[in-house]
Amino acid sequence: MLEIRWHGRGGQGAVTSVELLALSAIGEGRFAQGFPSFGPERRGAPVAAFNRVDDKQIKIRSGIYNPDVVVVLDESLIAMVDVAEGLKRTGTLIVNTTRNLEELRANITFEGRIAVCDATGIAWKELGVPITNTTMLGAVVRMSAAVKLESLDIPIKERFGRLAIKNQTAAKRAWDEVRIINEG
Protein backbone atom coordinates (compact mmCIF):
# COMPACT_ATOMS: atom_id res chain seq x y z
CA MET A 1 0.00 0.00 0.00
CA LEU A 2 1.22 3.48 -0.89
CA GLU A 3 0.56 6.17 1.72
CA ILE A 4 0.96 9.88 0.93
CA ARG A 5 0.75 12.94 3.20
CA TRP A 6 0.18 16.36 1.65
CA HIS A 7 1.12 19.64 3.38
CA GLY A 8 -0.38 22.89 2.19
CA ARG A 9 -2.27 25.93 3.34
CA GLY A 10 -6.02 26.33 3.48
CA GLY A 11 -7.22 27.32 0.01
CA GLN A 12 -4.24 25.86 -1.89
CA GLY A 13 -6.09 22.73 -2.96
CA ALA A 14 -4.47 19.94 -0.94
CA VAL A 15 -7.90 18.41 -0.35
CA THR A 16 -8.70 18.65 -4.06
CA SER A 17 -5.39 16.93 -4.85
CA VAL A 18 -6.08 13.94 -2.63
CA GLU A 19 -9.56 13.62 -4.11
CA LEU A 20 -8.24 13.73 -7.69
CA LEU A 21 -5.51 11.21 -6.95
CA ALA A 22 -7.97 8.83 -5.27
CA LEU A 23 -10.42 9.11 -8.18
CA SER A 24 -7.57 8.46 -10.63
CA ALA A 25 -6.58 5.28 -8.79
CA ILE A 26 -10.19 4.11 -8.65
CA GLY A 27 -10.45 4.82 -12.38
CA GLU A 28 -7.55 2.39 -12.87
CA GLY A 29 -9.50 -0.28 -10.99
CA ARG A 30 -7.49 0.11 -7.81
CA PHE A 31 -8.54 0.96 -4.27
CA ALA A 32 -7.93 4.39 -2.78
CA GLN A 33 -8.68 6.76 0.05
CA GLY A 34 -8.36 10.52 0.13
CA PHE A 35 -9.10 12.49 3.28
CA PRO A 36 -8.17 15.78 4.98
CA SER A 37 -7.14 16.55 8.53
CA PHE A 38 -8.99 19.61 9.73
CA GLY A 39 -9.15 21.57 12.92
CA PRO A 40 -10.62 25.05 13.11
CA GLU A 41 -8.78 25.89 9.89
CA ARG A 42 -8.93 29.12 7.97
CA ARG A 43 -7.67 30.17 4.57
CA GLY A 44 -3.87 30.28 4.67
CA ALA A 45 -3.50 28.10 7.79
CA PRO A 46 -1.36 24.93 7.52
CA VAL A 47 -3.42 21.86 6.55
CA ALA A 48 -2.65 18.22 5.88
CA ALA A 49 -4.42 15.74 3.62
CA PHE A 50 -3.78 12.07 2.95
CA ASN A 51 -3.97 9.35 0.29
CA ARG A 52 -3.80 5.59 0.37
CA VAL A 53 -3.59 3.60 -2.87
CA ASP A 54 -3.48 -0.18 -3.15
CA ASP A 55 -4.33 -3.05 -5.45
CA LYS A 56 -6.44 -4.65 -2.76
CA GLN A 57 -9.20 -3.38 -0.51
CA ILE A 58 -8.04 -0.85 2.09
CA LYS A 59 -9.50 -1.59 5.50
CA ILE A 60 -7.44 0.90 7.51
CA ARG A 61 -9.44 3.92 8.68
CA SER A 62 -6.82 5.74 10.71
CA GLY A 63 -4.53 8.63 9.97
CA ILE A 64 -1.25 8.16 8.16
CA TYR A 65 1.72 8.37 10.51
CA ASN A 66 4.53 6.79 8.45
CA PRO A 67 3.94 7.86 4.85
CA ASP A 68 5.88 6.62 1.83
CA VAL A 69 5.63 10.04 0.21
CA VAL A 70 5.29 13.56 1.62
CA VAL A 71 4.24 16.42 -0.64
CA VAL A 72 4.79 20.08 0.26
CA LEU A 73 2.66 22.53 -1.74
CA ASP A 74 4.03 25.65 -0.01
CA GLU A 75 7.76 25.75 0.78
CA SER A 76 7.21 28.28 3.59
CA LEU A 77 5.71 25.43 5.62
CA ILE A 78 9.06 23.69 5.98
CA ALA A 79 10.13 26.36 8.46
CA MET A 80 6.89 25.94 10.47
CA VAL A 81 6.07 22.23 10.35
CA ASP A 82 8.26 19.13 10.51
CA VAL A 83 7.06 18.01 7.08
CA ALA A 84 9.27 14.91 7.13
CA GLU A 85 7.95 13.67 10.48
CA GLY A 86 7.35 9.93 10.25
CA LEU A 87 8.40 9.75 6.60
CA LYS A 88 9.86 6.32 5.94
CA ARG A 89 13.64 6.26 5.45
CA THR A 90 12.98 4.76 2.01
CA GLY A 91 10.31 7.37 1.28
CA THR A 92 10.28 10.43 -0.93
CA LEU A 93 9.86 14.08 0.02
CA ILE A 94 8.55 16.25 -2.84
CA VAL A 95 8.76 20.02 -2.36
CA ASN A 96 7.40 22.86 -4.46
CA THR A 97 10.52 25.03 -4.50
CA THR A 98 13.36 26.45 -6.54
CA ARG A 99 15.80 26.00 -3.64
CA ASN A 100 18.74 23.64 -3.74
CA LEU A 101 19.49 20.88 -1.24
CA GLU A 102 21.79 23.02 0.90
CA GLU A 103 19.10 25.70 1.29
CA LEU A 104 16.46 23.10 2.17
CA ARG A 105 18.74 21.49 4.76
CA ALA A 106 18.28 24.55 6.99
CA ASN A 107 14.82 23.22 7.88
CA ILE A 108 14.69 19.62 6.65
CA THR A 109 16.72 16.91 8.30
CA PHE A 110 15.33 14.06 6.16
CA GLU A 111 18.26 12.19 4.60
CA GLY A 112 16.24 10.17 2.09
CA ARG A 113 15.10 10.87 -1.45
CA ILE A 114 14.16 14.50 -1.99
CA ALA A 115 12.63 15.80 -5.20
CA VAL A 116 11.82 19.39 -6.13
CA CYS A 117 9.57 21.04 -8.66
CA ASP A 118 8.94 24.72 -9.35
CA ALA A 119 5.18 24.15 -9.26
CA THR A 120 4.51 27.80 -8.49
CA GLY A 121 6.38 28.91 -11.62
CA ILE A 122 4.59 26.29 -13.72
CA ALA A 123 1.20 27.28 -12.27
CA TRP A 124 1.79 30.96 -13.05
CA LYS A 125 2.71 30.12 -16.65
CA GLU A 126 0.02 27.53 -17.34
CA LEU A 127 -2.87 28.60 -15.09
CA GLY A 128 -2.21 32.30 -14.54
CA VAL A 129 -2.47 31.83 -10.75
CA PRO A 130 -0.06 30.41 -8.15
CA ILE A 131 -2.31 27.49 -7.16
CA THR A 132 -0.08 24.44 -7.27
CA ASN A 133 -2.30 21.49 -6.41
CA THR A 134 -2.86 19.99 -9.87
CA THR A 135 0.65 20.94 -10.88
CA MET A 136 2.15 19.02 -7.96
CA LEU A 137 -0.05 16.03 -8.82
CA GLY A 138 2.13 15.54 -11.89
CA ALA A 139 5.28 15.54 -9.75
CA VAL A 140 3.71 13.13 -7.25
CA VAL A 141 2.65 10.70 -9.95
CA ARG A 142 6.14 10.76 -11.47
CA MET A 143 7.95 10.22 -8.16
CA SER A 144 5.53 7.69 -6.65
CA ALA A 145 3.96 5.84 -9.60
CA ALA A 146 0.69 6.02 -7.61
CA VAL A 147 -1.23 6.15 -10.91
CA LYS A 148 -0.47 6.70 -14.57
CA LEU A 149 -0.26 10.35 -15.59
CA GLU A 150 -3.09 9.95 -18.10
CA SER A 151 -5.32 8.58 -15.32
CA LEU A 152 -5.52 12.12 -13.93
CA ASP A 153 -7.22 13.38 -17.11
CA ILE A 154 -10.83 12.34 -16.42
CA PRO A 155 -10.96 13.44 -12.74
CA ILE A 156 -9.33 16.77 -13.68
CA LYS A 157 -11.79 17.27 -16.53
CA GLU A 158 -14.78 16.48 -14.31
CA ARG A 159 -13.52 18.80 -11.58
CA PHE A 160 -12.34 21.78 -13.65
CA GLY A 161 -14.46 21.68 -16.81
CA ARG A 162 -13.23 24.22 -19.35
CA LEU A 163 -10.09 24.86 -17.26
CA ALA A 164 -9.14 21.18 -17.33
CA ILE A 165 -6.71 21.41 -20.23
CA LYS A 166 -4.65 24.07 -18.42
CA ASN A 167 -4.53 21.92 -15.28
CA GLN A 168 -3.62 18.82 -17.29
CA THR A 169 -0.84 20.77 -19.03
CA ALA A 170 0.49 22.01 -15.68
CA ALA A 171 0.50 18.44 -14.29
CA LYS A 172 2.33 17.17 -17.37
CA ARG A 173 4.95 19.91 -17.10
CA ALA A 174 5.56 19.04 -13.44
CA TRP A 175 5.87 15.37 -14.45
CA ASP A 176 8.57 16.42 -16.93
CA GLU A 177 10.33 18.97 -14.72
CA VAL A 178 10.42 17.39 -11.25
CA ARG A 179 13.96 16.44 -10.33
CA ILE A 180 15.65 14.48 -7.60
CA ILE A 181 18.20 16.54 -5.63
CA ASN A 182 19.05 13.90 -3.03
CA GLU A 183 18.97 10.15 -3.70
CA GLY A 184 19.02 9.23 -0.04
DSSP 19-45: HHHHHHHHHTT-EEEEEEE-SS--TTS
**What average pLDDT does this structure show over 117-128?**
97
Nearest by Cα to 54 from 34, 74, 40, 81: 34
Check pLDDT > 70 for residue 162. Answer: yes
The pLDDT, as a whole number, for residue 113 is 97
pTM, 2 dp: 0.95
Show Cβ contacts of residue 61 under 8 Å, excluding neighbours closer than 6 positions.
none
CATH architecture of structural domain 2-182:
3-Layer(aba) Sandwich (3.40)
Residue 12: pLDDT band by 50, 70, 90 thresholds?
confident
